[in-house]
Structure formats: structure tokens, C-alpha cells
Structure 1
Amino acid sequence: MAATTLTGDKATCARSLALMATGTVEEMAEVYRADATNREAKDEPEATRGTGPEATHATALWLREAYSDLHWEVHDAVQEGELVVLHTTMSGRQTGPFTVYDEDAAVKVVFPPRGRSFAVTQTHWFRMREGLIAEHWANRDDQGQGEQLGWTPPSPVYLVQMLLARRRARATEAAAPHR
């Protein structure tokens, strides 16, 4: 299903995924409410944990840091009242470190890049208000993505690379001005 065949709220939601790969804050403001919440931000950097287009754009930048050639193919779109659901495949190539954060937004795990490509099924859920996205959450195949990228199961060498990458990320975090 091409996103161009979608209309209304479904098209807005599909556009929001396309903007994750290339969009600006200004473009995010065209699809997200100022008080929009991303329930998935709990494992993301601190800047993503706020609300609105700025936080959503921070999520996009976080993903772009790790993955090039990001793309979401929309297979199905369903709407029931204010709820829109998109069944998608996310694809890309890991060209940078992927960092996971803990509940305090501190670096938890870093997966160094291996240059591998991936394609995984995801379902994105959006709550709409007045034609804009008010809330987002997702179901993702993180296990499949980890296997395709060589994170799971990790080799002993990759485990050491992960530990060194986490040490570098924490040192960078400690040297940054405090929040």
C-alpha cells in the first residue's frame, strides 16, 4: 500500500513515519500536536522524553544517528474513531552506534555499528486529535532486528566492542553540561 493512496488521518500517520527518516522539526509540527506524547521514549535519550514535535524530532535524530537508509513501508492502515493503526516494515542499515537508555536517561547499552541491513515488522498506533497526532506507541520485532544486525547472540568480540562503546558513551555523557 503506497502512503500516497492513504487519506486523512491515515495519511498523516504514514507521513509521520516518513518524516522520521528525513523530516525537520517544522515538518514534524505539521503532523504532531504541541502536547503529543511518544510512549516509546522510555528507552531513548532525554530530549525525546518531552512532548510535541521537538521530542519527536529528537527521536528521529536518535534513530538517524544509528541507521542510514531508514524507511517504513506501510502495508495496512486501519482507523477506528481517533485511533489509527499502521502495519509496517521498517528497514535500514546500521552505520552508527545504537544507544539504549535507562529510566533515568543514562546510557544503558550501546550496540556498535556492523554495517548490516535489516527489515522488521512493526505496528504503530496513533491517537489523533483535530487532525494531528496526540499519542504514539508501537509493537516492534526487536529480537528479529537484533538477530539481523548481529547483536543477538553476541560473539565474545562483539560483547567487548559493546562494553567499550558503552564506556565511551558514558564518558561523553559525563563530560557534557548537566541537564
Structure 2
Amino acid sequence: MSTQVDSKMVAVRSLEIMSTGSRADFDAVIHPDATNREARGEPPETRMRGPEGFHATALWLRTAFTDMRHEILHAADGDLVCLDTIMVGRQQGPFVIYTSEGEVDQVFPSSGKMFSVAQTHWVRIPESMVIEHWAARDDLGRAQQLGWLSMTPA
């Protein structure tokens, strides 16, 4: 199996474990010095490097969303893997966003509604483990689907 195929599999696994993985699953996939660039709006414990921070992100997401999964549409290989996905889930708990200082900024109460939004995840995998992650997400689309804001014609 080539390194490129391994990298793609590791990247896909790093998204799978967000919804169902144990801490041991994160230890197996996430490098001890890994950085999640998306943690800046998450709770302070998610901003740690390595599996501990990534696992904290998963727990934070799981408090708000059930039935969460990523449907992989396309994946580009290499030591930098790009995953084009659709994130699907149901909001069953409050979704909390944090300031850069780690204080609660906004809380969106549970809607019980399903959502399905486009996301692109960039995962750097130099030695068979995730060392860096960042994403482009349709947060506005998720907010609309979950009823967090209502859009009216201008």
C-alpha cells in the first residue's frame, strides 16, 4: 500500500472518530504535537496539542450533535489530504461557541433538528499520523437549518 493511500485512510479515520471514537482511537491517529486550527472558537481544553485536544473537540461536538457523521464525497491524496465532505447530524444539546480568551460567547439552544452541510477538511499527515487540521465549513447553512437565525428577504 502506498503512503498516499495510507494518508487518505488516516484522514478519513480522523473524521470518523470525531463522532464515535474513544481516546485510544485518537491516540492511534493524532500525532502528540498535532494542531487543530479550528479550535479557536471551541472550549479551552480543545486548544491543546495532540490527541487530548482533538478528543476534547469530539466531546464538545458530541454534547450538541447526535447522529453526527461525515459523508466523504472526494479525497485528494498526499501528505496534505483534502476531504470534501457533507457533515450530517442532529442537534440534541446546546451548541456553545467560545471567545479567543476561552469565555462563553454564544449558546444556541437545542433545536432537535437535522442538518446537512458542506465542509472541506485539510489534514496534514507527514508520518502516518495527523499533525495539522483546518477546515472550511458552511456554518451559516447549519445555523439556518437548525433555526438559530431566520433569514428574511431584503
Q: Please give the root-mean-square deviation of Cα atoms over the aligned residues, in Å.
A: 1.2
**Residue 153 of structure 1: how far off its partner (Å):** 2.1
Structure index of larger Rg: 1
SS at structure 1 position matched to 2:112: coil
Match of residue 16 from structure 2: 18
One of 138, 160, 171 as aligned partner of 2:135: 138
Alignment of 1:95 with 2:92, yes or no, is yes
Give 1:96 shift.
0.1
SS at match of 1:115: coil
Q: How far apart, CA to CA, are the structure 1 residues paired with 2:114 and 2:127?
A: 37
> What does residue 5 of structure 2 align with?
7
Q: Hey, which of these two has a bigger chunk of helix by percent? A: 1
- Corresponding position of 1:65: 63
For the residue of structure 1 that corresponds to 2:144, the secondary structure is helix
How far off is 1:26 after superposition?
0.8
Task: Give the corresponding residue for 2:103.
Answer: 106
- Structure 2 gaps of 5+ residues are none
Q: Distance in 2 between matches of 1:87 and 1:106?
A: 31
2:41 aligns to what?
A: 43
Which one scores higher on RCO, CA 8 angstroms, separation ≥ 6?
A: 2
The TM-score normalised by the length of structure 1 is 0.80
Q: How far has the Cα of 1:13 moved from its partner?
A: 0.6
User: Which position in structure 2 is the counterpart of 1:121?
Assistant: 118
Amino acid at match of 2:110: P
Residues 55-88 of structure 1: per-residue CA shift (max 9 Å, x gap): 00000000000000001010100024x2100000
Alpha-carbon distance, 1:106 to partner: 0.3
Match of 1:56 in 2: 54
1:91-139: CA deviations, max 9, x gaps?
0000000000001010000000010000000000011121110000000
Aligned match of 1:171: none
After superposing on structure 2, the runs of 4+ consecutive aligned residues of structure 1 that deviate more than 2 Å are none
Partner Cα separation in structure 2 for residue 114 and residue 86 of structure 1: 28
Identity of aligned pairs, percent?
48
Partner of 2:77: 79
The amino acid of 2:23's aligned partner reads V
Q: TM-score, normalised by structure 2?
A: 0.93
Match of residue 28 from structure 1? 26
Asked if 1 retains the 8 angstrom alpha-carbon contact of 2:5 and 2:77, the reply is no
Q: Distance in 1 between matches of 2:27 and 2:124?
A: 16
Shift of 1:25: 1.1
Structure 1 unaligned spans of 5+: 1-5, 155-179
Q: How many residues align?
A: 148
